[in-house]
Amino acid sequence: MQVDETAVGPVLNRLRRAQGQLTGVIAMIEAGRDCKDVVTQLAAVSRALDRAGFKIIASGMRQCLAEAEDGGIPMNEAELEKLFLTLA
């Protein structure tokens, strides 16, 4: 599966944001920052990664539907469910 061209930009932006936030979390831990601040930033990283993952899955679902209309082999319900659950 390739990510839809229209989704690539937003996905990369979200992943870069998560990368920056993770770098911040590492720096906070190295600096001995307060646990609450570190956990708050770590939660932000997690949300950014989740959003990127959901965007990739949504793009993949559109792609699968388009392929099915063109005679391709679509993902079945169990495969889609498994894909969603990997992000949970």
Question: Which domains, ranges and CATH numbers included, belong to the chain?
Answer: 5-85 (1.20.58.1000)
pLDDT 10s digits, 30-49: 999 999 999 999 999 999 89
Mean pLDDT of the residues in the chain: 82
Q: Quote the pTM value.
A: 0.68
Average pLDDT over residues 15-36: 95
Task: Give the chain as a DSSP string.
Answer: ----HHHHHHHHHHHHHHHHHHHHHHHHHHTT--HHHHHHHHHHHHHHHHHHHHHHHHHHHHHHHHHHHTT--PPPHHHHHHHHHTT-
